[in-house]
């Protein structure tokens, strides 16, 4: 599980990562699980189980969706120059608005009051060349970045008209409630032990804290993150796997291991690491607790970061959260 930074905000760098990788009504749009942006995908594409979007594996075609706040649009647009895209192996063939006169669209269309930029080109990655359509659309409801691609060898199976028809169905929906988001996770939280959920990340992870702040900086409040990732290590590699996972915990430095040992969690094999570290921003002493719970083909990772002087009480309560966790 890639842990979010302690300052829980959407990174615009995700947009860069995404690039390197007749109208239908808004009601017809399909929203991939956990997203607020939807489209009617081109014929043959179905929702992908591995990324936010749609795919047609028989043609190696995909439609990827990323959502960002409304204010992200001008920042992303400024970085969409031909020169910048060329550094990602993309040769731009054309660029311009998706709709020349958005006010001519029906009032039900999300594009009626949106800014749009559609870039069409080809991307080379070694010997593979892909046809690519990249739509950036921004409105008061949010910013969407949609990338459609297909290998050039299969380009005849996905026409420009079909892609544009799909992009024209772009729709935004209201954010789901926290409970609705939690229901989509592959696990169920039981005893919250005084913590509260502040963010659900896609359909794989949840962030909890104790205190009034929703954005936790400088270890001002304890934070607990739990998520599921595919894959599980061999029994003889669990310790090293746990240490490697611990090294990716963000916003801490000068980490020293206090304890590292296997244990049972929820009737399954697990591994616990407790470490002492410094908060990267403030230099405050913190404790880092990591639990891994191994299943047959996936593992649950739980991380807690708390100020050292609050460790004992917090450890007891996050252990209650850990033990109350049930796999769906």
- pLDDT of 126 above 50: yes
Backbone angles phi, psi at 73, to 5 degrees: -55, -55
Q: Enter the DSSP assignment of 50.
A: S
Q: Please give the residue that has the higher pLDDT: either 181 or 258.
A: 258
Between 18 and 194, residue with greater pLDDT = 194
On the question of pLDDT at 29 being above 50, the answer is: yes
Position 316 scores a pLDDT of: 97
pLDDT at 313: 96
pLDDT of residue 213: 86
pLDDT mean over 2-28:
39
Q: What is the pLDDT of residue 314?
A: 97
Give me the mean pLDDT over the 113-126 stretch.
93
Average pLDDT for residues 181-206, to the nearest whole number?
91
Task: Give pTM, 2 decimals.
Answer: 0.57
Dump strand ranges (E) for the chain: 37-38, 46-47, 53-56, 61-68, 90-96, 115-125, 128-139, 142-151, 171-172, 187-188, 196-201, 205-209, 223-230, 252-265, 268-279, 285-294, 298-307, 326-327
Between 317 and 128, residue with greater pLDDT: 317
Domains located in the chain, CATH noted: 13-172 (3.40.1000.10), 178-327 (3.40.1000.10)
pLDDT of res. 6: 39
Task: Write down the pLDDT at residue 176.
Answer: 79
């Amino acid at each position: 599980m890639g842990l979010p930074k302690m300052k829980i905000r959407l990174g615009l760098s995700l947009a860069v990562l995404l690039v390197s990788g007749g109208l239908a009504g808004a009601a017809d749009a399909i929203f991939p699980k956990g997203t607020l942006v939807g489209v009617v995908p081109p014929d043959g594409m179905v929702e992908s189980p591995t990324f936010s979007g749609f795919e047609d594996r028989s043609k190696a075609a995909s439609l990827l969706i990323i959502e960002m706040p409304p204010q992200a649009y001008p920042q992303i647009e400024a970085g969409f120059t031909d020169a910048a895209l060329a550094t990602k192996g993309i040769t731009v063939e054309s660029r311009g608005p998706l709709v020349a006169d958005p006010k001519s669209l029906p009032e039900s269309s999300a594009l009626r009051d949106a800014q749009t930029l559609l870039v069409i080109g080809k991307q080379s990655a070694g010997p593979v060349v892909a046809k690519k359509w990249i739509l950036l659309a921004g409105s008061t409801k949010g910013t969407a970045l949609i990338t459609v691609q297909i290998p050039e060898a299969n380009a005849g199976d996905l026409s420009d008209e079909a892609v544009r028809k799909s992009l024209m169905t772009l729709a935004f929906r209201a954010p789901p409630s926290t409970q609705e988001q939690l229901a989509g996770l592959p696990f169920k939280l039981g005893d919250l032990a005084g913590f509260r959920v502040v963010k659900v990340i896609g359909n794989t992870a949840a962030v909890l804290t104790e205190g009034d702040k929703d954005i936790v900086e400088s270890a001002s409040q304890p934070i607990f993150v739990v998520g599921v990732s595919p894959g599980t290590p061999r029994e003889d590699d669990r310790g090293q796997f746990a240490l490697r996972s611990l090294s990716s915990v963000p916003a801490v430095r000068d980490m020293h291991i206090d304890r590292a040992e296997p244990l049972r969690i929820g009737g399954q094999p697990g591994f616990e690491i407790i470490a002492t570290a410094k908060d990267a921003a403030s230099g405050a002493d913190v404790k880092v607790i990591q639990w891994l719970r191994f299943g047959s083909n996936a593992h649950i990772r739980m991380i807690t970061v708390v100020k050292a002087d609050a460790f004992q009480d917090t450890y007891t309560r996050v252990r209650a959260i850990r033990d109350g966790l049930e796999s769906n």
